[in-house]
């Protein structure tokens, strides 16, 4: 199944979501690493455990992903094979069949009342984290103070022991 006549541009968040879903479809497992958006001459590819996705268009991205999936699944086979074209065609079918070209991957708007609740929760979480960080800082300071106090008590004890010996002889 080839691409339709009109292929809309792809956004960055759509590209990340599509890459994850196509990985799951082609590789049979969920991508558990980080996914970062890249641009320019950088291809959609996996490097050092990070899946870099270039939203330079559906056609380019799906083609790059087909190459990536094939080389990951078959590392010993040569790359110029008809199998890659077949895999790319399956990926294209998934993109078209699932309606991703018709903005099915776009994120939905959050209602205003839910946004207010989310902001309140975020504020509470921020305050809680600040308080926890303060407790941790002061616990560390207390621990250091107790360690230094014990150290100086030992020094004082040694000092008294040394001065008492000198005075007796």
If pLDDT is split at 50, 70 and 90, which confidence band does 25 have? very high
Residue 22, Cβ density class (10 Å: 0-12 exposed, 13-18 middle, ≥19 buried): buried
| Mean pLDDT along residues 83-103 | 91
Query: Domain locations in the chain?
Result: 12-102, 109-169
Quick: pLDDT tens for 64-75.
Answer: 999 999 999 988
Residue 89, Cβ density class (10 Å: 0-12 exposed, 13-18 middle, ≥19 buried): middle
| Mean pLDDT along residues 97-114 | 80
Nearest to 16 by CA among 62, 56, 59, 54: 54
User: CA 39, CA 41: separation in Å to the nearest integer?
Assistant: 6
If pLDDT is split at 50, 70 and 90, which confidence band does 135 have? very high
Question: Is residue 137 scored above 90 in pLDDT?
Answer: yes
Nearest to 110 by CA among 118, 121, 99: 118
């Amino acid at each position: 199944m080839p691409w339709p006549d009109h292929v809309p541009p792809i956004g960055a968040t759509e590209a990340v979501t599509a890459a994850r879903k196509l990985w799951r479809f082609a590789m049979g497992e969920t991508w558990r690493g980080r996914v970062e958006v890249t641009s320019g001459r950088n291809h959609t590819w996996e490097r050092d455990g990070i899946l870099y996705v270039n939203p330079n268009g559906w056609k380019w991205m799906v083609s790059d992903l087909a190459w990536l999936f094939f080389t990951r699944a078959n590392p010993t086979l040569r790359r110029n094979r008809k199998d890659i074209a077949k895999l790319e065609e399956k990926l294209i079918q998934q993109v078209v069949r699932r309606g991703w070209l018709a903005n099915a991957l776009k994120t939905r708007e959050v209602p205003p009342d839910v946004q207010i609740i989310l902001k309140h929760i975020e504020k509470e979480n921020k305050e809680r984290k600040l308080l926890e960080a303060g407790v941790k800082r002061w616990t560390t300071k207390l621990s250091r103070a107790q360690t230094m106090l014990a150290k100086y008590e030992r020094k004082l004890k040694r000092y008294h022991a040394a001065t008492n010996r000198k005075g007796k002889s």
